[in-house]
Structure 1
Amino acid sequence: MPLHVPPAPAPALRSVSTALGSPTAVREARTPSLRTAQGPASPELPLPLHVLNHVTETTGGPSRTRLTGWRFLVRCGDRAVAAADTMLTPDGWAFSHFFEGPYVASTERALRQAEALPKTYQPRLLSVPELYMLTLWLHGDHTADASSGHPAADDILIPLAPAPPGIAAHRLHRVADLLPVLALRLTPTRAVLLA
Structure 2
Amino acid sequence: MQLTYPKAPSNGVQTLRPALQAALQTQGFGVNRQFANATAGKISLSEAYRGYSLTLEDLSNGKGLKDARIGNWHYLVFADGLTIADAQLAEVRGHVEFSSLNHGNMAAATVGALKLAEQSPQLHGKTVELRVLFVSALHVVAIWLHADGEDLLIPIEPTPKELALAQVYSEAALLAKLKPAADQAKRRFDADTSGQLGN
If the length of structure 2 is used for normalisation, what is the TM-score? 0.77
Q: What residue ranges of structure 1 are gaps of 5+ in the alignment?
A: 142-151
The answer as to whether partners of 1:161 and 1:169 remain within 8 angstroms in 2 is no
For 1:177 and 1:155, the matched residues in 2 are separated by 11
Rounded Cα–Cα distance in structure 1 between residues aligned with 2:65 and 2:101: 32
Q: Distance in 1 between matches of 2:170 and 2:50?
A: 19
Instruction: Report the AA paired with residue 128 of structure 1.
Output: V
What's the counterpart of residue 144 of structure 1? none
Residue 31 (structure 1) aligned to one of 26, 29, 44: 29
Alpha-carbon offset, residue 63 of structure 1: 5.3
Find the counterpart in structure 2 of residue 92 from structure 1.
95
Cα-Cα RMSD: 2.5
Q: TM-score, normalised by structure 1?
A: 0.78
User: Structure 1 residues 63, 91: closer, same or farther in 2, change over 3 A?
Assistant: closer
Distance, in Å, in 1 between the alignment partners of 2:73 and 2:110 is: 14
- Alpha-carbon deviations, 1:162-188, whole Å to 9, x = none? 322423432111001111222221113
Q: 1:172 — aligned with what?
A: 168
Question: Is there any run of 5+ residues in structure 2 with no aligned partner, and where?
Answer: 191-199
| Contact 1:69–1:85, Cα closer than 8 Å, also in 2 | yes
**Where has structure 1 moved over 3 Å in runs of 4 or more?**
56-59
- 1:78-135 Cα offsets, whole Å, 9 max, x none, are 1211121111112511111222111111101111222332122111000000101100
Letter of the structure 2 residue corresponding to residue 14 of structure 1: Q
Distance 1:85 1:180 in 2: 29
The question of 1:183 aligning with 2:179 is answered: yes
Structure having the higher helix fraction is 2
AA of the residue aligned to 2:170: R
With over 3 angstroms needed to count, the CA separation of the structure-2 counterparts of 1:37 and 1:126, relative to structure 1, is same
User: Deviations 1:5-56 (Å, cap 9, x if unpaired)?
Assistant: 3342123232113323x3x343347434323114520221322111113226
What SS is found at the alignment partner of 2:6? Answer: coil
Alignment length (residue pairs): 177
Find 1:46's aligned residue among 38, 48, 70. Answer: 48
Which of 105, 113, 119 aligns to 2:116? It is 113
Calculate percent identity across the aligned residue pairs: 29
The equivalent of 1:73 in structure 2 is 76
* Residues 1:29 and 1:51: Cα distance change in structure 2 (over 3 Å): farther
CA contact (8 A) 2:24 2:38 kept: no
Provide the residue aligned with 1:122 in structure 2. 129
Aligned to 1:5: 5
Report the 3-state secondary structure (helix = DSSP H, G, I; strand = E; otherwise coil) of the residue aligned with 1:155. strand
Alignment check: 8 A CA contact 1:11 1:94 kept = no
